[in-house]
Amino acid sequence: MHIEGEATLLRIFIGEADKHGHRALYDVLVEEARAAGLAGATALRGIQGFGPSARMHSSRVLDLSSDLPVLVEIVDEEAKVAAFVGRVTQLLEEAESGGLVTLEKAHVIRYLHGASANSD
C-alpha cells in the first residue's frame, strides 16, 4: 500500500477500562481497523487526562488510576476513514462508552513498508 499527500487522521479518545464485551475497547478498535483494510492503527496510553466528568486520570503513584486515557489513531485515505467512522460509532455504542472522535486533515510525507513489514 502506498499513501502520499492528503489523507485523514481519525482520533478516538477513550478510557483504558472501556470494554467491548470482555475485551478492551481499544483492542477491538485496532482489530476492526485492520479487518477494514485501513493502512494502520496505533493505540497510545496517556499518562494523565480528564474528560467530560472532569475526573482526573493519572499514572502517578499517589493517585494511580485504573482508567488511564487511551488514544487510537488511524491515518488513511479520506474515503476509507470516512467509511470506517460508522463502525467506530457502532462499537462505542455497543460498549456503552463515552469518548471523543475527531477527524483531521493530514499530509502524509512518507508511508512505506520496510523489510520487517512483510513479517507482520
Q: Can you tell me the mean pLDDT for 83-99?
A: 96
Using 50, 70 and 90 to split pLDDT, how confident is the model at 120?
low
- Higher-pLDDT residue of 111, 57: 111
**What pLDDT sits at residue 38?**
96
Cell numbers describing residue 89 = 460509532
**What pLDDT sits at residue 26?**
98
Total residues belonging to the chain = 120
Q: Are 91 and 32 in contact (CB under 8 A)?
A: yes
**Residue 34's CB: how many other CB atoms inside 10 A?**
11
User: Which residues have CB under 8 Å from 85's CB, separation 6+?
Assistant: 10, 101, 103
**Helix, strand, coil percent values for the chain (each to nearest 5):** 30, 35, 35
Q: Are 9 and 74 in contact (CB under 8 A)?
A: yes
User: How many angstroms separate the CA atoms of 119 and 83, rounded?
Assistant: 28
At 64-76, the pLDDT tens digits run: 556 789 999 999 9
Residue 60 has pLDDT above 60, yes or no: no
At 18-48, the pLDDT tens digits run: 999 999 999 999 999 999 999 999 999 988 8
Segment (H or E) for 70: strand 69-76
Instruction: Output the average pLDDT for the chain.
Output: 87
Q: What is the model's pTM?
A: 0.84
CA distances from 56 to 6, 17, 46, 51 (A): 36, 14, 12, 8
